[in-house]
Amino acid sequence: MERQIIAYKNYFLEFYEAQQENVQAKIEWTLQLIRVMPHVPKKYFDHMTGTKGLYEIRVEVGNNIFRIFSFFDKGNIVVLGNAFQKKTQKTPKNEIEKALKIMEAYKNEK
Share of the chain above pLDDT 70, in %: 100
Distance between CA atoms of residues 34 and 51, nearest Å: 20
* Of the candidates 31, 72, 27, the residue with the CA atom closest to the CA atom of residue 51: 72
Distance between CA atoms of residues 59 and 62, nearest Å: 10
40 pLDDT above the threshold of 80? yes
Edge-to-edge strands of the sheet including 77-86?
4-7, 77-86, 64-73, 55-61, 45-47
pLDDT tens profile 68-98 = 999 999 989 999 999 999 998 888 999 999 9
In a 13 Å sphere around the CA of 4, the CA atoms on its Cβ side amount to 7
pLDDT band at 8 (very low <50, low <70, confident <90, very high): very high
| DSSP codes, 21-64 | HHHHHHHHHHHHHHHH-SS--TTTEEEPTTSSS-EEEEEEETTE
**pTM across the whole model:** 0.95
Instruction: Sketch out the chain's domains with CATH numbers.
Output: 4-109 (3.30.2310.20)
20 pLDDT above the threshold of 80? yes
37 and 11 Cβ atoms separated by less than 8 Å: no
